[in-house]
Amino acid sequence: MGGNATTPAMAATRDGYGNALLKIGSDTNIVVLDAGVSDSTRTNKFAEKWPERFFNMGISEGDMVCTAAGLAKCGKTAFATSFICFLLGRSMDQILVSVAYSDSNVKIIGTHAGLAIGEDGPTAQAIGDVSYMRAMPNFIVICPADVVEAEKATLAVAKRKGPAYLRLGRPAVKTIYDDSYKFEIGKASVVAEGNDAAIIASGIMVQESMAAAEILRKEGVNVRVINMSTIKPLDRKAVAEAAKTGAIVTAEDHNIYGGLGSAVAEVIAEEGLNVKFGMMGVKDRFAESDTQKVLFKKYGLDAEAIAAAVRKAVVAKK
């Protein structure tokens, strides 16, 4: 699954988004909007090549979302892009009414997710966005694990009519997949095999979970790692298969309320699955400004913390 000659060893998921826009940009129905942060969101690549279909809306996120919805109603596939904290924080009414309720062909692309943005501080560390967008009718929610998956997820939502939310990160992360990877909306991907327990993760936490699995493997505990990049609709079959290990731990750079962990817990409860279960994520508190490494360790998001949670679940199932 690792990278090949055409895939970088490390890159940010936002880079995958920028790459995908270049691949689909020759389609004159594609339009891209940005709220004045195009260098950071990587929409600048599209802007340079097709300036007539790029709209820099400035610090006006609500206007951007409504403009995107209007363009969608004229037959365009509209990508509305900004940092998550601004895009959702200032536009929830517009997203609800003009995109979700209207079932508009608008793709809401949020970058700079979670505590992983580190030094930008708690007001910019988006930790509630998945819960917002999961609760929004008509939306799908995708949180890619690496640059390859981010590119392929962007291509997939461009083909699919209707609202979509992509959650992308700022830091460069290890590339898990190569160009042969086939992304499918609503389909999880097993990135490490094991039958003693399962970690279900999304986004940057797939990297941490793979590191946790390696720690545990040296202790004789074989852990399956599942990349649940589509959080809505969730791959219920993958959860059921993971439950056969007897222990599931979810891992997300997001509040433990309303995100991936909650979605998996809903499936476990609804299906009556007999499994020990734990959730790793931000435990309903704000962080502070510091490096990603420091914050992940302090708030229990690093590989060691995930490994400890899996050990606890494995003991409990016995």
**CATH hierarchy code of domain 10-174:** 3.40.50.970
SS3 183: coil
In whole angstroms, what is the distance from residue 158 CA to residue 215 CA? 38
Give the pLDDT band of residue 3 (cuts 50, 70, 90): very low
pLDDT in tens, 247-256: 999 999 999 9
SS3 100: helix
Q: Which one is predicted more confidently, 104 or 1? A: 104
In whole angstroms, what is the distance from residue 296 CA to residue 294 CA? 6
The pLDDT > 70 percentage for the chain reads 98
**Whether the predicted pLDDT of 259 surpasses 80:** yes
pLDDT in tens, 216-228: 999 999 999 999 9
Q: Exposure string (b/e) for 105-130, b if CB count within 10 Å is 16 or more?
A: bbbbbbbbbbbbbbeeeeebbbbbbb
The pLDDT > 90 percentage for the chain reads 97
CA angle 150, 154, 157 (to 5 degrees): 135
**Residue range 73-91: mean pLDDT, rounded:** 97
CA angle 46, 94, 284 (to 5 degrees): 95
Mean per-residue pLDDT of the chain:
96
pLDDT in tens, 162-184: 999 999 999 999 999 999 999 99
pLDDT in tens, 302-311: 999 999 999 9
pLDDT for 16 equals 97
**Residue range 241-265: mean pLDDT, rounded:** 98
Place of tokens 């599942």: 226
**Whether the predicted pLDDT of 4 surpasses 70:** no
Residue of 61, 149, 151, 252 marked active site? 61
pLDDT for 8 equals 79
**Residue range 61-66: mean pLDDT, rounded:** 97
**Residue range 123-131: mean pLDDT, rounded:** 95
208 assigned to active site: no
**CATH hierarchy code of domain 189-313:** 3.40.50.920
pTM: predicted TM-score of the whole model, two decimal places: 0.95
pLDDT for 1 equals 55
Give the pLDDT band of residue 97 (cuts 50, 70, 90): very high
pLDDT for 6 equals 61
Give the pLDDT band of residue 5 (cuts 50, 70, 90): very low
pLDDT in tens, 180-237: 999 999 999 999 999 999 999 999 999 999 999 999 999 999 999 999 999 999 999 9
**Whether the predicted pLDDT of 318 surpasses 90:** no
pLDDT for 7 equals 74
Cα 240 from chain centroid (whole Å) = 21
Going from N- to C-terminal start, the domains of the chain cover 10-174, 189-313
Could you write out the DSSP letters of every residue in 140-168?
EEE--SSHHHHHHHHHHHHHS-S-EEEE-
